[in-house]
Structure 1
Protein backbone atom coordinates (compact mmCIF):
# COMPACT_ATOMS: atom_id res chain seq x y z
CA UNK A 1 0.00 0.00 0.00
CA UNK A 2 1.42 3.37 -1.05
CA UNK A 3 1.70 6.07 1.63
CA UNK A 4 -1.04 8.67 1.60
CA UNK A 5 -0.23 11.90 -0.19
CA UNK A 6 -2.11 14.94 1.13
CA UNK A 7 -1.66 16.87 -2.12
CA UNK A 8 -1.06 15.75 -5.67
CA UNK A 9 -0.92 17.38 -9.10
CA UNK A 10 -3.98 17.00 -11.31
CA UNK A 11 -1.91 17.40 -14.49
CA UNK A 12 -3.69 20.59 -15.55
CA UNK A 13 -1.88 23.09 -13.32
CA UNK A 14 -4.18 22.46 -10.36
CA UNK A 15 -3.72 20.24 -7.32
CA UNK A 16 -5.90 17.80 -5.41
CA UNK A 17 -5.99 18.47 -1.69
CA UNK A 18 -6.63 15.12 -0.02
CA UNK A 19 -6.96 15.99 3.65
CA UNK A 20 -8.90 14.01 6.21
CA UNK A 21 -11.73 15.66 8.11
CA UNK A 22 -9.65 16.07 11.28
CA UNK A 23 -6.80 17.63 9.29
CA UNK A 24 -9.17 20.15 7.73
CA UNK A 25 -10.61 20.87 11.19
CA UNK A 26 -7.11 21.54 12.54
CA UNK A 27 -6.34 24.03 9.77
CA UNK A 28 -9.75 25.67 10.15
CA UNK A 29 -9.15 26.07 13.90
CA UNK A 30 -5.55 27.30 13.79
CA UNK A 31 -5.82 29.83 10.94
CA UNK A 32 -8.11 32.27 12.82
CA UNK A 33 -5.87 32.07 15.90
CA UNK A 34 -2.76 33.10 13.96
CA UNK A 35 -4.74 35.71 12.05
CA UNK A 36 -5.92 37.27 15.32
CA UNK A 37 -2.39 37.25 16.73
CA UNK A 38 -1.00 38.97 13.62
CA UNK A 39 -3.84 41.49 13.39
CA UNK A 40 -3.95 42.36 17.09
CA UNK A 41 -0.27 42.47 17.99
CA UNK A 42 2.26 42.00 15.19
CA UNK A 43 4.96 42.65 17.80
CA UNK A 44 4.01 39.63 19.95
CA UNK A 45 7.05 37.53 20.92
CA UNK A 46 5.33 34.42 19.51
CA UNK A 47 5.87 35.95 16.06
CA UNK A 48 9.66 36.28 16.33
CA UNK A 49 10.31 33.46 13.86
CA UNK A 50 8.00 35.13 11.33
CA UNK A 51 9.89 38.41 11.61
CA UNK A 52 13.51 37.60 12.46
CA UNK A 53 15.94 40.42 13.12
CA UNK A 54 17.55 41.52 9.86
CA UNK A 55 20.24 43.74 11.39
CA UNK A 56 21.07 42.47 14.90
CA UNK A 57 24.30 44.50 14.93
CA UNK A 58 22.57 47.80 14.16
CA UNK A 59 19.38 48.54 16.15
CA UNK A 60 18.75 51.80 14.27
CA UNK A 61 18.96 50.12 10.85
CA UNK A 62 16.79 47.29 12.18
CA UNK A 63 14.11 49.74 13.33
CA UNK A 64 14.21 51.50 9.96
CA UNK A 65 13.97 48.18 8.11
CA UNK A 66 10.99 47.06 10.23
CA UNK A 67 9.25 50.38 9.62
CA UNK A 68 9.69 49.95 5.86
CA UNK A 69 8.56 46.33 5.49
CA UNK A 70 6.64 45.19 8.58
CA UNK A 71 3.17 46.36 7.52
CA UNK A 72 3.52 44.83 4.06
CA UNK A 73 4.74 41.51 5.50
CA UNK A 74 1.87 41.41 8.00
CA UNK A 75 -0.62 42.26 5.24
CA UNK A 76 0.68 39.48 2.97
CA UNK A 77 0.50 36.96 5.78
CA UNK A 78 -3.04 38.01 6.67
CA UNK A 79 -4.12 37.72 3.02
CA UNK A 80 -2.61 34.22 2.83
CA UNK A 81 -4.34 33.16 6.02
CA UNK A 82 -7.66 34.51 4.74
CA UNK A 83 -7.26 32.52 1.53
CA UNK A 84 -6.39 29.30 3.36
CA UNK A 85 -9.16 29.81 5.91
CA UNK A 86 -11.63 30.06 3.05
CA UNK A 87 -10.18 26.92 1.46
CA UNK A 88 -10.18 24.59 4.48
CA UNK A 89 -12.81 22.42 2.76
CA UNK A 90 -11.41 22.73 -0.78
CA UNK A 91 -10.48 19.60 -2.69
CA UNK A 92 -8.70 21.35 -5.57
CA UNK A 93 -6.23 24.22 -5.50
CA UNK A 94 -4.76 26.54 -8.10
CA UNK A 95 -1.03 27.29 -8.10
CA UNK A 96 -1.70 30.57 -6.26
CA UNK A 97 -3.78 28.77 -3.65
CA UNK A 98 -1.12 26.08 -3.23
CA UNK A 99 1.47 28.81 -2.61
CA UNK A 100 -0.85 30.37 -0.02
CA UNK A 101 -1.20 26.99 1.70
CA UNK A 102 2.59 26.57 1.78
CA UNK A 103 3.10 30.02 3.27
CA UNK A 104 0.29 29.74 5.81
CA UNK A 105 1.29 26.24 6.98
CA UNK A 106 4.89 27.42 7.31
CA UNK A 107 3.81 30.50 9.30
CA UNK A 108 1.59 28.45 11.61
CA UNK A 109 4.38 25.94 12.15
CA UNK A 110 6.92 28.67 12.94
CA UNK A 111 4.63 30.28 15.53
CA UNK A 112 3.72 26.92 17.07
CA UNK A 113 7.42 25.98 17.17
CA UNK A 114 8.17 29.23 18.99
CA UNK A 115 5.41 28.54 21.51
CA UNK A 116 6.71 24.99 22.06
CA UNK A 117 10.36 26.14 22.09
CA UNK A 118 11.18 23.59 19.39
CA UNK A 119 14.78 23.53 18.22
CA UNK A 120 16.49 21.87 15.27
CA UNK A 121 17.74 19.14 17.61
CA UNK A 122 14.23 18.06 18.68
CA UNK A 123 13.00 14.73 17.43
CA UNK A 124 9.46 13.41 17.47
CA UNK A 125 8.72 10.63 19.97
CA UNK A 126 4.99 10.09 20.22
CA UNK A 127 5.38 7.24 22.75
CA UNK A 128 7.09 9.64 25.14
CA UNK A 129 4.19 12.11 25.01
CA UNK A 130 1.76 9.71 26.68
CA UNK A 131 -1.59 11.22 27.51
CA UNK A 132 -3.35 13.97 25.60
CA UNK A 133 -2.00 17.03 27.32
CA UNK A 134 -2.27 20.44 25.66
CA UNK A 135 1.49 20.30 25.00
CA UNK A 136 1.37 16.82 23.43
CA UNK A 137 -1.55 17.85 21.20
CA UNK A 138 0.33 21.01 20.14
CA UNK A 139 3.49 18.97 19.45
CA UNK A 140 1.50 16.50 17.35
CA UNK A 141 0.02 19.42 15.39
CA UNK A 142 3.53 20.85 14.91
CA UNK A 143 4.90 17.59 13.52
CA UNK A 144 1.82 17.07 11.34
CA UNK A 145 2.19 20.58 9.87
CA UNK A 146 5.83 19.80 9.07
CA UNK A 147 4.75 16.66 7.23
CA UNK A 148 2.04 18.58 5.33
CA UNK A 149 4.46 21.39 4.44
CA UNK A 150 6.97 18.87 3.10
CA UNK A 151 4.33 17.47 0.74
CA UNK A 152 3.11 20.91 -0.34
CA UNK A 153 6.66 21.97 -1.21
CA UNK A 154 7.43 18.68 -2.92
CA UNK A 155 4.40 18.81 -5.21
CA UNK A 156 5.01 22.48 -5.98
CA UNK A 157 8.64 21.81 -6.90
CA UNK A 158 7.68 18.85 -9.09
CA UNK A 159 5.59 21.16 -11.28
CA UNK A 160 8.46 23.54 -12.09
Structure 2
Protein backbone atom coordinates (compact mmCIF):
# COMPACT_ATOMS: atom_id res chain seq x y z
CA UNK A 1 0.00 0.00 0.00
CA UNK A 2 1.33 3.37 -0.97
CA UNK A 3 -1.16 5.28 1.12
CA UNK A 4 -4.57 6.77 0.52
CA UNK A 5 -5.09 9.43 -2.15
CA UNK A 6 -7.98 11.56 -3.33
CA UNK A 7 -9.32 10.94 -6.84
CA UNK A 8 -12.53 12.28 -8.36
CA UNK A 9 -14.12 12.99 -4.98
CA UNK A 10 -13.27 9.57 -3.58
CA UNK A 11 -10.52 8.27 -1.32
CA UNK A 12 -8.55 5.49 -3.00
CA UNK A 13 -5.90 2.95 -2.01
CA UNK A 14 -4.52 -0.29 -3.42
CA UNK A 15 -4.09 -3.06 -0.87
CA UNK A 16 -1.98 -6.16 -1.26
CA UNK A 17 -3.58 -9.49 -0.43
CA UNK A 18 -1.67 -9.62 2.86
CA UNK A 19 -2.68 -6.06 3.83
CA UNK A 20 -6.33 -6.79 3.07
CA UNK A 21 -6.14 -10.01 5.09
CA UNK A 22 -4.68 -8.19 8.11
CA UNK A 23 -7.33 -5.46 7.99
CA UNK A 24 -10.21 -7.88 7.42
CA UNK A 25 -8.98 -10.27 10.12
CA UNK A 26 -8.55 -7.64 12.81
CA UNK A 27 -11.78 -5.82 11.95
CA UNK A 28 -13.64 -9.15 12.03
CA UNK A 29 -12.29 -9.89 15.50
CA UNK A 30 -13.44 -6.50 16.79
CA UNK A 31 -16.86 -6.94 15.18
CA UNK A 32 -17.21 -10.37 16.79
CA UNK A 33 -16.29 -9.00 20.24
CA UNK A 34 -18.81 -6.18 19.89
CA UNK A 35 -21.52 -8.50 18.56
CA UNK A 36 -21.01 -10.88 21.48
CA UNK A 37 -21.40 -7.94 23.89
CA UNK A 38 -24.62 -6.88 22.12
CA UNK A 39 -25.95 -10.44 22.23
CA UNK A 40 -25.37 -10.55 26.00
CA UNK A 41 -27.49 -7.43 26.57
CA UNK A 42 -30.36 -7.96 29.00
CA UNK A 43 -33.80 -8.43 27.48
CA UNK A 44 -36.81 -6.96 29.22
CA UNK A 45 -40.52 -6.82 28.46
CA UNK A 46 -40.64 -3.03 28.19
CA UNK A 47 -37.86 -3.11 25.61
CA UNK A 48 -39.75 -5.69 23.58
CA UNK A 49 -42.97 -3.66 23.73
CA UNK A 50 -41.46 -0.26 22.93
CA UNK A 51 -38.60 -1.30 20.67
CA UNK A 52 -36.25 0.77 22.83
CA UNK A 53 -33.25 -1.39 23.46
CA UNK A 54 -31.31 -1.30 26.66
CA UNK A 55 -27.83 -2.49 27.37
CA UNK A 56 -26.01 -3.65 30.46
CA UNK A 57 -25.50 -1.24 33.33
CA UNK A 58 -21.96 -2.41 34.04
CA UNK A 59 -18.85 -1.96 31.92
CA UNK A 60 -17.28 -4.97 30.21
CA UNK A 61 -14.92 -7.03 32.35
CA UNK A 62 -12.58 -7.62 29.42
CA UNK A 63 -10.11 -4.73 29.36
CA UNK A 64 -9.93 -4.60 25.54
CA UNK A 65 -13.70 -4.43 25.24
CA UNK A 66 -13.70 -1.96 28.12
CA UNK A 67 -11.41 0.29 26.08
CA UNK A 68 -13.83 0.17 23.15
CA UNK A 69 -16.86 0.80 25.40
CA UNK A 70 -15.61 3.17 28.09
CA UNK A 71 -17.66 4.47 30.99
CA UNK A 72 -20.03 7.32 30.28
CA UNK A 73 -18.73 9.28 33.26
CA UNK A 74 -15.38 10.31 34.64
CA UNK A 75 -14.06 9.34 38.02
CA UNK A 76 -12.45 11.90 40.31
CA UNK A 77 -9.06 12.47 38.64
CA UNK A 78 -7.26 12.78 41.98
CA UNK A 79 -8.75 9.88 43.90
CA UNK A 80 -10.10 7.67 41.11
CA UNK A 81 -13.27 7.26 43.15
CA UNK A 82 -16.88 7.99 42.42
CA UNK A 83 -19.87 8.11 44.73
CA UNK A 84 -22.74 5.63 44.48
CA UNK A 85 -25.06 8.21 42.92
CA UNK A 86 -22.60 8.85 40.06
CA UNK A 87 -22.11 5.11 39.57
CA UNK A 88 -25.88 4.57 39.34
CA UNK A 89 -26.19 7.41 36.84
CA UNK A 90 -23.30 5.97 34.82
CA UNK A 91 -25.01 2.58 34.75
CA UNK A 92 -28.23 4.16 33.52
CA UNK A 93 -26.35 6.11 30.84
CA UNK A 94 -24.55 2.93 29.71
CA UNK A 95 -27.83 1.02 29.56
CA UNK A 96 -29.40 3.70 27.35
CA UNK A 97 -26.49 4.49 25.05
CA UNK A 98 -24.38 1.35 24.71
CA UNK A 99 -26.73 -0.36 22.19
CA UNK A 100 -26.43 2.61 19.81
CA UNK A 101 -22.65 2.75 20.27
CA UNK A 102 -22.43 -0.98 19.51
CA UNK A 103 -24.54 -0.45 16.36
CA UNK A 104 -22.22 2.32 15.18
CA UNK A 105 -19.07 0.32 15.84
CA UNK A 106 -20.33 -2.93 14.29
CA UNK A 107 -21.72 -0.94 11.35
CA UNK A 108 -18.31 0.59 10.71
CA UNK A 109 -16.72 -2.86 10.92
CA UNK A 110 -19.27 -4.29 8.46
CA UNK A 111 -18.58 -1.41 6.07
CA UNK A 112 -14.85 -2.20 6.08
CA UNK A 113 -15.55 -5.88 5.49
CA UNK A 114 -17.88 -5.01 2.59
CA UNK A 115 -15.47 -2.59 0.90
CA UNK A 116 -12.11 -4.25 1.57
CA UNK A 117 -11.50 -6.85 -1.17
CA UNK A 118 -10.58 -10.24 0.38
CA UNK A 119 -7.81 -10.82 -2.15
CA UNK A 120 -6.50 -7.27 -2.06
CA UNK A 121 -6.94 -4.69 -4.77
CA UNK A 122 -8.40 -1.24 -5.14
CA UNK A 123 -10.51 0.31 -2.40
CA UNK A 124 -12.51 3.37 -3.44
CA UNK A 125 -14.46 5.13 -0.70
CA UNK A 126 -16.95 7.96 -0.54
CA UNK A 127 -16.52 10.49 2.25
CA UNK A 128 -19.02 8.67 4.50
CA UNK A 129 -17.35 5.33 3.83
CA UNK A 130 -13.95 6.82 4.65
CA UNK A 131 -15.36 8.00 7.98
CA UNK A 132 -16.51 4.44 8.66
CA UNK A 133 -13.06 3.10 7.84
CA UNK A 134 -11.49 5.64 10.18
CA UNK A 135 -13.81 4.58 13.01
CA UNK A 136 -13.16 0.86 12.46
CA UNK A 137 -9.38 1.24 12.16
CA UNK A 138 -9.37 3.40 15.27
CA UNK A 139 -11.24 0.66 17.14
CA UNK A 140 -8.71 -1.93 15.97
CA UNK A 141 -5.82 0.28 17.08
CA UNK A 142 -7.43 0.91 20.48
CA UNK A 143 -7.99 -2.82 21.00
CA UNK A 144 -4.53 -3.83 19.80
CA UNK A 145 -2.85 -1.06 21.78
CA UNK A 146 -4.69 -2.16 24.92
CA UNK A 147 -3.85 -5.83 24.39
CA UNK A 148 -0.17 -4.98 23.85
CA UNK A 149 -0.01 -2.45 26.70
CA UNK A 150 1.16 0.28 24.34
CA UNK A 151 1.50 3.74 25.84
CA UNK A 152 3.53 6.89 25.25
CA UNK A 153 6.54 5.20 26.87
CA UNK A 154 6.57 2.26 24.45
CA UNK A 155 9.65 2.44 22.21
CA UNK A 156 9.36 2.28 18.42
CA UNK A 157 11.20 -1.05 18.50
CA UNK A 158 10.96 -3.71 21.16
CA UNK A 159 13.74 -6.13 22.13
CA UNK A 160 13.87 -9.33 20.08
CA UNK A 161 12.78 -11.44 23.06
CA UNK A 162 9.62 -9.33 23.64
CA UNK A 163 6.60 -11.33 22.46
CA UNK A 164 4.84 -8.09 21.45
CA UNK A 165 7.52 -7.22 18.89
CA UNK A 166 5.78 -8.52 15.75
CA UNK A 167 2.38 -7.20 16.84
CA UNK A 168 3.86 -3.76 17.46
CA UNK A 169 4.74 -3.62 13.77
CA UNK A 170 1.10 -4.27 12.87
CA UNK A 171 0.01 -1.55 15.30
CA UNK A 172 2.47 0.91 13.75
CA UNK A 173 1.35 0.00 10.22
CA UNK A 174 -2.30 0.55 11.20
CA UNK A 175 -1.31 3.93 12.64
CA UNK A 176 0.23 4.84 9.30
CA UNK A 177 -2.86 3.58 7.39
CA UNK A 178 -5.08 5.69 9.63
CA UNK A 179 -2.86 8.79 9.30
CA UNK A 180 -2.75 8.39 5.53
CA UNK A 181 -6.54 8.07 5.38
CA UNK A 182 -7.01 11.16 7.56
CA UNK A 183 -4.67 13.13 5.28
CA UNK A 184 -6.57 12.00 2.18
CA UNK A 185 -9.98 12.80 3.71
CA UNK A 186 -8.81 16.23 4.88
CA UNK A 187 -6.99 16.72 1.66
RMSD of the alignment, in Å? 1.9
Counterpart position of 1:119: 151
Deviation at 1:144, TM superposition (A): 0.9
Counterpart position of 2:110: 82
Residue correspondences, number:
151
Distance in structure 2 (CA, Å) of the matches to 1:41 and 1:122: 30
Task: Give the TM-score, by structure 1 length.
Answer: 0.85
Deviation at 1:95, TM superposition (A): 1.0
Task: Give the TM-score, by structure 2 length.
Answer: 0.73
Counterpart position of 2:167: 138
Structure 1: unaligned runs, 5 residues or longer: none
Distance in structure 1 (CA, Å) of the matches to 2:180 and 2:116: 17
Conserved? CA contact 1:5–1:151, under 8 Å: no
Counterpart position of 2:4: 7
- Could you list the per-position Cα deviations for residues 96-129 of structure 1 after superposition, in whole angstroms to 9, with x for gaps in the alignment? 111111000000000111111111222311xx44
1:154 equivalent in alignment to 2:183: yes
Conserved? CA contact 2:11–2:185, under 8 Å: no
Whichever of the two has the greater Rg, that structure is 2
Structure 2: unaligned runs, 5 residues or longer: 39-59, 76-81
Distance in structure 2 (CA, Å) of the matches to 1:49 and 1:143: 19
* The one of 27, 31, 34 aligned to 1:35: 31
